[in-house]
Chains A and B, each alone.
Chain A
Amino acid sequence: MTTATSTAPPKNRVARVLARREARVAFLFVLPAFLLFIAFRFGPTIAGVGLSFFDYDISGEIAFKGLANFQRMIADPLFWRALGTTVIYTIFAVPISLVLSTVMALGVRRAFRGSRFFRSIFFLPVITSLVLAGSIFVWIFSGNGPWSQLMTPLGLGGSWLGSTVLVIPAIVIVGVWSRFGYGMMIMIAAMQDIPRELEEAALMDGANSWQRFRSIILPHLKPTVFFLAVIETTAAFQVFDVIYVMTQGGPANASYSLVYMLYDQGFKYFDYGYAAAIGVALFVMTLAVALIQRLVIGRQK
């Protein structure tokens, strides 16, 4: 290195000038994206956490309240209702969606006549906004809709969206409908990576299809299942669109979710400080769930 500098100092200086110019240009390239980030991600994130310690509403008066918003949250039955609803929704929607994704992926993973057609149909709900499609589901689950007529023999007739017990299953069904195709596609891609020889060998050894799934496909899918579990749980925890268009949190707050509560407090009651506190709670819980899932799955390995 030292010899190089002594033999060719001018070239080195040129290189240094060029490198400095390059760095300046590179910085300019990053700058627009970075400024947008400061303004609309970093800033609001910090402000969101900060705001949760303040009392701030539409009157514009702002006052530091310490942990008052969080104390209020802990004492607020509506918060526990929203948390409970969200957790129950997640507990049902995520596993059902994962199982359905896996089953459908097993059905269409290999090319056969019609496999692409089926994949396309199952993927269609993924690109469909539940806000735009919501009204058909309101009808499907209404008292004279097809779902309640199907369920009448089981004693579960009547409007599911009007029932404080059945409204969550109805929302779970719609949520799963809109998401299983995504998991299916991810699963198909993961299944393509399983060496054929493994499955062939198992077949030769007389393993039936369940045994082949249990001891070859499933272990191979573990990282994918983990990936999907995290994504699906995060999404389920933030459930909002379906509830807004189908039930508005009702009946009697039976489908009132955390994000719905955040929206309600922020944009109906204009209680910004309290809404921000709910946002922080949501953030902490999302992180905690991701961490727990990582620990659990990490231990299994």
Chain B
Amino acid sequence: MTTMTPPQAQPLTELESRPAPARSRSYRALEPSRGGIVVRWIWLSLAAVLAFFPFYAMVVLSLKPGQVVELPGSLIPWQDISFASYEQVLSGQNILGWLGNTLIYSLVSVVAVLFLSALAGYAFAKKRFAGKEVMFWSFLAMVMVPFHVTLIPMFILMAGIGGVDTYWGLILPTLANAQAVFLMRQFIQGLPDDLFEAARIDGAGEFRIFLRIVLPLCKPILATLGIFVFLWHWNDFLWPLIIAKSNAMFTLTVGISSLQQQNVPLSTMLAGSVVALAPIFFAYLIAQRYVQEGVTGTGIKG
């Protein structure tokens, strides 16, 4: 919930490869030579090792509890491996509870944000009603206001209506997502009107048209937006930090950061990190392109 930026228009679907035109000699000249490829491989590999090193060290050191970390010996993955840190963090800490809270926070928000923003986006895109322009532009203007300006009043409000340390207090404020409404409106505007008109002539109610026709047509944008909202909630920190007060309500980010203040041993800390990061990495592994599009196509990481 830290940065919100207006979504950009560039479609990223053609990110991977676009059909190559007929190969001319000049076309081939732009392709790097074999030597060029080798050089490129070398520097990219170096960069990849650097970028990946924190993950590697995280996993390896989490498997070496009770040792004084010595370099480079401690980074050899096959020596003195023990899963004791994982047992410790899984039994001694409420990490599975935090995982469950994070899942609730992320999944409920995704479903609600997608539904509400599609509903509003459809009305903004295809309907005429009084106050439409004013409403839409005030939505959009709110994207410019940093979340931090609203932090204190939101907390006071939540404390006043008993939302502190509850699921609904955590979730409800994050459903006001201007970016999502804007994105849905842009997408639905591009859909042909005839589809809705035909259904209307057949006598379908407005809500039925929305459920049966609009939502299925929006599948691609719903997937992209859903991944973005999910990741944002999964990684969200400041809002859960002030709302989730008791250990039983902690999300993963709040829980893991609380471990640091307890002076837990490094390997246990890292085991916690690995457990907390694993679900996202696994999802990334199976749906890489969607995740990349979800983050780059909609705006920004949280």
- A residues in contact (CB < 8 Å) with B: 19, 22-27, 29-30, 32-34, 36-37, 39-45, 47-49, 51, 104, 107-108, 110-114, 116, 118-129, 131-140, 144-146, 149, 177, 179, 181-182, 185-186, 188-190, 192-193, 196, 199-200, 203-204, 227, 230-231, 234-235, 238, 240-241, 244-245, 259, 262-263, 266-267, 272, 275-276, 279-280, 282-283, 286-287
A266 & B123 in contact (Cβ 8 Å cutoff): no
Residues of A within 8 Å of B58, CB to CB, are: 133, 136
Q: Does B103 contact A (CB under 8 A)?
A: no
A137 to B270, CA, bound (A): 11
Alpha-carbon distance A133/B260, docked complex (angstroms): 12
Query: Please, how many angstroms separate the alpha-carbon atoms of A118 and B144 in the complex?
Result: 34
Given A33-B116, A231-B5, A240-B2, A122:B152 Cβ within 8 A: no
Q: How far is the CB of A11 from chain B (nearest CB, A)?
A: 14
A231 B300 Cβ-Cβ under 8 A: yes
Q: List 25 A-B contacts (CB under 8 A).
A: A23-B130, A26-B206, A29-B120, A30-B119, A34-B135, A36-B176, A37-B142, A44-B150, A108-B44, A127-B235, A129-B277, A131-B253, A133-B273, A136-B55, A136-B273, A140-B54, A145-B71, A146-B72, A179-B301, A196-B21, A234-B146, A240-B2, A276-B152, A282-B146, A287-B144
Contact assessment for A112 and B16 in the assembled complex, using a CB-CB cutoff below 8 Å: no
Q: In the bound complex, what is the Cα–Cα distance between A107 and B41 (angstroms)?
A: 9
* Residues of B close to A182: CB separation below 8 A: 295-296, 300-301
The reply on B81 being an interface residue by CB < 8 A is no
CB <8 Å contact, A139 and B234: no
Q: Is B257 an interface residue (CB 8 A)?
A: yes
Q: Mask for B121-159, Cβ within 8 A of A = 1, else 0? A: 011100111101001001100101110111111111100
Is B76 in the interface zone, CB < 8 Å from A?
Answer: no
Selected contact of B119 from candidates A33, A112, A140, CB within 8 Å: A33
Q: Nearest Cβ distance between residue B13 and chain A, in whole angstroms?
A: 9
Task: Give complex CA distance A139, B181 in Å.
Answer: 41
- Chain B residues numbered 203-225 whose CB sits less than 8 Å from any CB in chain A: 206-207, 210
Interface of A is mostly: helix
Q: B191 on the interface (CB 8 Å rule)?
A: no
From residue 245 to 270 of chain B, which have CB atoms closer than 8 A to chain A? 252-253, 256-257, 259-260, 266, 269-270
CB pair A33–B71 under 8 Å, yes or no, is no
User: Distance (Å) between the CB of B242 and the closest chain A CB?
Assistant: 6
Chain B residues lying within 8 Å of A30, measured Cβ to Cβ, are 119-120, 123-124, 129, 132, 135
Bound form: Cα–Cα A287–B27 in Å = 45
